[in-house]
Amino acid sequence: MRIKQLNNETMENLQVQLLKRSPGQYETYEEQVHNILKEVQTSGDRAVFAFTKKFDGADINADNFLVTEAEIDVAYGQVDQDYLAIIRKAKENIYTYHMKQKQNSWFDTKPDGSILGQKITALQRVGVYVPGGKAAYPSSVLMNIIPAKIAGVDEIIMVTPPDQNGVVSANTLVAAKEAGADLIYKVGGAQAIGALAYGTAGIPKVDKIIGPGNIYVALAKKAVYGHVSIDSIAGPSEILILADEGAHPRYIAADLLSQAEHDELASAILITTSQTLALAVSAEVDALLRVLPRRDIMQKSLDHYGYILVADSMEDAVQAANEIASEHLEIMTQNPFEIMTKIRNAGAIFIGAYSCEPLGDYFAGPNHVLPTNGTAKFFSPLSVDDFIKKSSIIAYSKEALQAVHKDVEKFAHAEGLTAHENAIKVRFE
């Protein structure tokens, strides 16, 4: 891996390179996505079936695009039972963690007869996009559906692309059933996002669309925002590791590559205060690349978006980490909890040598749907909060309003809103 001294110039160049990976930079795909969405909006299921045939090679129609209970039963028979047990363990961890996020309505009653509060209401219907086709991601199924179930969403509709035979991965179907999906459709790509956003004869319109996908899915979610809510526009995966001279170079190399293998646009960065560690990690990366199967993808990722930055101090390293605002941040230092308190911007923070990133991807419990491309500066991981909405509650008695009505009238008068002022006055004429 390339090793550079951390300074203002390298940081500026790095951030420019990372921003090139943003879905917002791929205008060349937007026209095609727009055309797909327009066709789905006007032609409904007919367009969905046609695009599924075109892009996935599958013959899907009104009779077979909804996954049946019989298909799910077959999937359970195909899944390795040990793997099913692991899915259930991960499910329990994810459930336990997200239950702590659940919010309740609250009301505050005062002696003057006024009641103020906040009413929590779950979204009625949510669409969950799960990547499919050549790969299966049961972990994403669990991470997206379980918080929605905990929030109390009435109906969860999952869409995922089938293979050329119109079949969805058994692992994906089993994970969906375990997590609590209500309906599963064999549809992927921008056409699936359009169907969820606009509704078709076969697929109900949802209130919110969540879940990762390729560039077409990302741009489609961006385009339909406003018709429905979305979680975020996910970019390529990222990892940033903060380490000092005491860190284990092989652990760091392995963790960097765990993200570089996602795709050629993935980013893997180490920031360290030790030139010796930087050289050792680079050597370990080279050694692991020779034996890991997805070496071609990892090599291209590292060539374009992989860096080892050597900082003069840990304070400089932390400052750089906060500027990059990585999706995943690992801290491998002698005092990782102290460093953690100085981190402002990160999707998920992994503390210590044995808290490696894949633990968060699959099993620990916190959500692995995280902000990317620097959006950790203002976005949070997917949570139960993403599936609720809040209504303010205001209830005043006549006596409570009488005590403040002159103040409210003057406020409205000062803003020139005489009808507002009058709405208070008429109650005390």
| Rounded CA separation 171/139 (Å) | 10
CB 177 within 8 A of CB 406: no
Determine the 3-state secondary structure of 273 from DSSP. Answer: coil
Q: Which residues does 373 contact at the CB level (< 8 Å), separation at least 6?
A: 18, 19, 21, 22, 235, 238
Residue 291 token pair: 């034996």
Q: Are 232 and 210 in contact (CB under 8 A)?
A: no
Other beta carbons less than 10 A from residue 103's beta carbon:
12
Q: Is 326 strand, coil or helix? A: coil
Give the whole-angstrom CA distance, residue 63 versus residue 253: 49
Residues 327 and 321: their CA atoms lie apart, in Å, by 11
Query: Helix (H, G, I), strand (E, B), or coil: what is residue 120?
Result: strand
Q: Please choose, from the candidates 255, 247, 325, the residue with its C-alpha nearest in 3D space to the C-alpha of residue 15.
A: 325
Respond yes or no: is residue 327 known to be catalytic: yes
8 A C-beta contact, residue 141 and residue 210: no
Beta strands in 98-212, from DSSP E residues, in sequence order: 106-109, 115-122, 125-129, 155-159, 183-185, 208-210
- 246: phi > 0 → left, psi -120 to 50 → alpha, else beta; which? alpha
Report how far residue 244's alpha carbon sits from residue 250's, in angstroms, rounded to the nearest whole number.
Answer: 14
Is 12 a known active-site residue?
no
Catalytic residue among 327, 330, 409, 421: 327
Catalytic residue among 98, 262, 328, 368: 328
- Per the listing, tokens 């503390």 go with 351
Amino acid letter at 320?
A
Catalytic center residues = 327-328
